[in-house]
Amino acid sequence: MTGALAPRRVACLSLVLSCLLASPSLADGLGVRVEAGTVLAYDAAQDTGHGALVHLTYDLSSVQLSVGGGALFPGSQAEAPLLTGQLLAQWHPFRGSSWLQPLHLSPYLSAGVGTVSFDDEEAAARDFEPGTSIRWIHGGEHVTGLLGLGVTYGSPTDLSLSGEVRAVNATHLGFILGAGVCF
């Protein structure tokens, strides 16, 4: 489903437009986070992939909600990148703790859902060789479940850096570094 009005594109566009039209007091928690990482399949750790994502974020007191998308480049024989979209929530249970504030650290749990698909399904199917290509995805768009554990360094109202280990379904694991800024 890669048409001009695919559901994930409509959702991203709707969120951006609603944020742009929001009153200034509602826009206080808006930000952007850029992530890059390595993804590996549990059953073939030698076949890693790499990717980058951009998230539009909204911070509440101890929760950060985000919507984003990006590209993953599998380490298999597939020549095309995988396109992904994600809705993610991060819960920072110790964000206001007096013992962590001097260190500027905030451990968190993340959970979310996403989609992943090849931009050009036909080209990806032509390049797939069952004997040498690892299973990333086959066929059309797939829904993914995301669950992670990470830590941020910095201020939730300014610049922050993060590191996270994120499971994607029961098949892949990602090691992700990120940088975010709140407006």
Q: Over the stretch 76-105, which tens digit does the pLDDT of each residue have? A: 555 567 788 999 999 999 887 777 777 888
For the chain, which residues make up each domain, given as ranges?
A: 31-182
The per-residue b/e assignment along 3-27, b for 16 or more CB within 10 angstroms, e otherwise, is eeebebeeebeebeeeeeeeeeeee
Token pair of 118, please? Answer: 């090849």
Say if residue 166 is exposed, middle or buried (CB neighbours under 10 Å; 0-12, 13-18, 19+). Answer: buried
The per-residue pLDDT for 19 is 55
Within 79-176, residue ranges assigned H as helices are 121-127
Question: Which of 33, 74, 58, 32 lies closest to 177 in space, CA to CA?
Answer: 33
DSSP-derived letter for residue 162 is E
| CA angle (144 as vertex; 79, 47 as ends), nearest 5 | 40
| Chain segment 8-67, per-residue pLDDT in tens | 665 655 555 555 545 455 556 899 999 999 988 887 777 788 899 999 999 888 899 999
Residues with Cβ within 8 Å of 38's Cβ and at least 6 positions away in sequence, in order, are 48, 49, 50, 174, 175
Task: Provide the CATH number for the domain formed by 31-182 in this structure.
Answer: 2.40.160.20
Q: In the prediction, which pLDDT does 161 show?
A: 96
d(CA 121, CA 30): 34
Q: What is the pLDDT of residues 109-125, one digit of tens each?
A: 999 999 888 766 565 55
What pTM was computed for the model?
0.76
In the chain, beta strands by DSSP E: 30-41, 44-59, 63-73, 82-91, 105-118, 142-154, 159-168, 172-182
> What is the H or E stretch that residue 77 is in?
none
